[in-house]
Amino acid sequence: MIVSPRCYLYVPGNRERMLARAPTVGADALVLDLEDSVPPAQKAATRELVAAAIPRLAAQGQRVYVRVNALATGLAEDDLAAVVVPGLEGIALPKVQSPAEVARVAQALDRLEGLQGIALGSLQVRALIETPEGLLNARAIAGAPRLTAISLGAEDFLSVLGVSRSRTAVELLYARSHIVVAAHAAGVDPIDSVYVDLDDDAGLLEDTRLARQLGFKARSAIHPRQVAPIQAVFTPSAEEVAWARRVLEAYREAEALGYASVAVDGKMIDIPIVERAQRLLSGAEAIAGR
């Protein structure tokens, strides 16, 4: 079973020391960045650094993605041509507003995989939803070719709205929920946005727990110290695993007696809850065997 990452750590592609240190952090996936963390004058040179780093990181067991520049910048095509090399797992495409943009990148990947000897169709695309138009089109985007995850870019989204992010993030509740519903409807992973306050460890935990409760399957990080807390939140706890096992055992016994529901811990359990327990247990076992 392929386990989806719980945390995607952004690594500035122009920072060679950070690229070298990245495998020691323990993030499930790395996103080497060509976009916001790289000054315009360094973008071309950064492509070469990232392209060289990908096979090296993959050889160390890292799952490697690259965030290219948005299609509207005119830089994405050159980004893709440089970084589609063996060892790459996928592309993070920013500021996506329509499924046509994902399809355009998918077509480029079709060609580049052939040139690089990469298995055809294997490279994934993760769409970053960062505008109101993108949010309203999220369901269609989530069904685009090669797309395996959609992610909310909260800071860009709020900037367009002209509001700042509060500690409770109430202003993002609709956008986050919309991303989750669109992703689940399309059968792809919903990924939550970064948490930008690096000095607020308690806030990171609280907000990440909310993200999981909303239905997100992972979140992005911008600092190595955020990785462990995020991955811990998205890992089923021992108590949750024990609950899932109790539910499945009790339901098996009830089913053998001809019943379709049973009480566990004073709560009624039926098929939807049994299915959730099975998913939780399967996920926990997959993470344990990672």
- Residue range 65-95, pLDDT digits in tens: 999 999 999 999 999 999 999 999 999 999 9
Q: Are 242 and 223 members of one domain? A: no
Q: Are 151 and 209 members of one domain? A: yes
Does 1 reside within a domain?
no
Q: What would the pLDDT profile of 193-218 be if each residue is shown by its tens digit?
A: 999 999 999 999 999 999 999 999 99
Q: Are 210 and 267 members of one domain? A: no
Whether 150 and 190 have beta carbons less than 8 Å apart is answered as: yes
Q: Are 15 and 115 members of one domain? A: yes
**Confidence at residue 258, expressed as pLDDT on a 0 to 100 scale:** 83
Q: Are 133 and 247 members of one domain? A: no
- Could you tell me where the DSSP H helices lie in 119-199? 132-136, 138-142, 154-161, 173-186
The two structure tokens encoding residue 239: 């108590």
Does 192 reside within a domain?
yes
Name the nearest CA neighbour of 153 among 287, 35, 17. 35
Q: Are 27 and 63 members of one domain? A: yes
Q: Are 225 and 255 members of one domain? A: no
Does 249 reside within a domain?
yes
Q: Are 254 and 210 members of one domain? A: no
Domain that holds residue 245: 238-288
Q: How many domains does the chain have?
A: 2
Name the nearest CA neighbour of 70 among 138, 156, 193, 136. 156
**Confidence at residue 97, expressed as pLDDT on a 0 to 100 scale:** 97
Does 62 reside within a domain?
yes
- Regarding pTM above 0.85, the answer is yes
Q: What would the pLDDT profile of 92-126 be if each residue is shown by its tens digit?
A: 999 999 999 999 999 999 999 999 999 999 999 99
CATH of the domain at 197: 3.20.20.60
